[in-house]
Amino acid sequence: MNVKVTGRVVSMVGKPRVIVIGAGGFGKNHVRVLAELGSLGGVCDVDKERASAYGKLYNVPYYVNVSEIPENTYEGAVVSTPTSTHKEVAMQLALKNVKHLLIEKPFTPTVKDALELISFLKNRNVKIMVGFIERFNPAARMVKRYIEEGALGEVIMASATRVRRWPERIADSGVLLDTAIHDIDLMRYFFSEDPVKVYAKMGKSMHRVHEDYATIVLTFPSGGMAIIKANWLTPYKIRSIEVIGSEGVVEADLVTQQVTLSSKNDRITPFSEWSEPLRYELKHFIECIVNDVNPSPGEEDAVKALKIVEASLKSSVTGNSVDIGT
């Protein structure tokens, strides 16, 4: 594959070409890491100055609107625009014959939008990945490995805390969709089953438009339970996980990636070097493009997380626990 850029030819042999839609916010990290992996094929951003800067920096084509992207040019795309635009952007990319999409969490604002988008993409044979990046966090993967190896015995309960200070800003989602959804997905990942009931309380303290604090309690078919706490109020960052089993406890700091396993007779903290979860996520996405296989987490994970979000919102309004539909 060769891409002509301002009179130069950039060799892309053996690497799928991936375009990033939305290079502000977290999108700029997708641009950087894809470039490091040799698969950045283009950048699209409504801010022409930003798009131009990244295009020139990495010597790739840049666009201001998805409509400008030529058909049959990119094997994959990362959608990192505001959530409210994901559906429209993804559909436009499918019409450009992009066959592999990584759509940032929370995928779409609602379950209804998600199901409509998935139906549209599947009819065009597009393979879908959702950006639940914490599944690629080495600390989360170590927790999962301890669970699968039986180091904790029977998993009884888990908790997650994800807090930081976040100023009032123009945004299209609150702390639940923007933040807590990561831990909703992680709890499904750790328990290897879907919760059947949720009880949640949330509210607004410093933010006027969306909720800025939430506590969610999930109940699983096995009898296990999970508690998720998230807010945009705490003046420092915490992203932590604790899983308690009949034979042990594992604690993980998702920021430092330090994991500690405790049992009746021992407490160990294995050493591991910090590594960037996004790099693992994008490597997986690229490998799925090369092998033309479905990535994980995929569209089913996106829909199930959104169903839990919607049930949590309903629970907070009614003050009652809510059964989660399958």
Q: Are residues 308 and 175 part of one domain?
A: yes
Residues 237 and 140 in one domain: yes
Pair (83, 124) in one structural domain: yes
* 193 lies in the same domain as 92: no
Residues 123 and 209 in one domain: no
Summarize the confidence of residues 209-223 as an average pLDDT.
Answer: 94
- Chosen domain end from 74, 106, 131: 131
In the predicted model, is pLDDT for residue 7 greater than 70? no
Q: pLDDT per residue over 237-277, tens digit each? A: 999 999 999 999 999 999 999 999 999 889 999 888 999 99
Are 127 and 149 members of one domain? no
Buried b / exposed e along 128-154 (16+ C-beta atoms within 10 A): bbbbbbbbbbbbbbbbbebbeeebbee
Q: Verify that 23 and 144 share a domain, yes or no.
A: no
Return the CA Rg of the chain.
20
- Residue where one domain finishes, among candidates 131, 147, 178: 131
DSSP string, 161-227: EEE--------S--HIIIIIHHHHHHHHHHHTS--SEEEEEEE-SS-SSS--EEEEEEE-TTS-EEE
Mean pLDDT value of segment 275-287: 98
178-198 pLDDT, tens digit per residue, is 999 999 999 999 999 999 999
Per mean pLDDT, which range of 23-32, 101-110, 207-216, 279-288 is the poorest?
A: 207-216
User: Which residue did the predictor score with more confidence, 210 or 325?
Assistant: 210
Residue 65 located in a structural domain: yes
Tell me, yes or no, whether 174 and 248 share the same domain.
yes
Domain annotation covers residue 284: no
Q: Classify residue 281: in a domain, yes or no.
A: no
> What's the CATH code of the domain at 188?
3.30.360.10
- Tens digit of pLDDT for each residue in 72-94? 999 999 999 999 999 999 999 99
Q: What is the CATH number of the domain that holds 64?
A: 3.40.50.720
Residue 9 has pLDDT above 80, yes or no: no
Judge if 151 and 252 occupy the same domain.
yes
Which range marks the domain in which residue 151 is found?
134-275+297-323
Q: Is the pLDDT of residue 171 over 50?
A: yes
Examine residue 259 and state whether it is found in any structural domain, yes or no.
Answer: yes
One domain, residues 53 and 189:
no
Give the per-residue pLDDT at 326.
Answer: 58
Q: Which residues, at least 6 apart from 281, have a Cβ–Cβ distance to it below 8 Å?
A: 102, 131, 133, 135, 136
Mean pLDDT of the region 215-229: 97
282 in any annotated domain = no
> Is residue 191 situated within a structural domain?
yes
Q: Which band of pLDDT confidence, cut at 50, 70 and 90, is reported for residue 207?
A: confident
- Helix 138-149 vs helix 181-191: crossing angle, to nearest 10: 30
Of 299 and 210, more confident: 299
Question: Is the pLDDT reported for residue 8 higher than 60?
Answer: no
Q: Which of 87, 108, 131 is the C-terminal boundary of a domain?
A: 131
- List, for residues 150-166, the tens digit of each pLDDT value: 999 999 999 999 999 98
Domain assignment of residue 268, yes or no: yes
Claim to verify: residue 169 and residue 305 sit in the same structural domain = yes
- Say yes or no to pLDDT of 131 above 80: yes
Give the chain's domain count.
2
Residue 56 lies in a domain: yes
267/249 same-domain check: yes
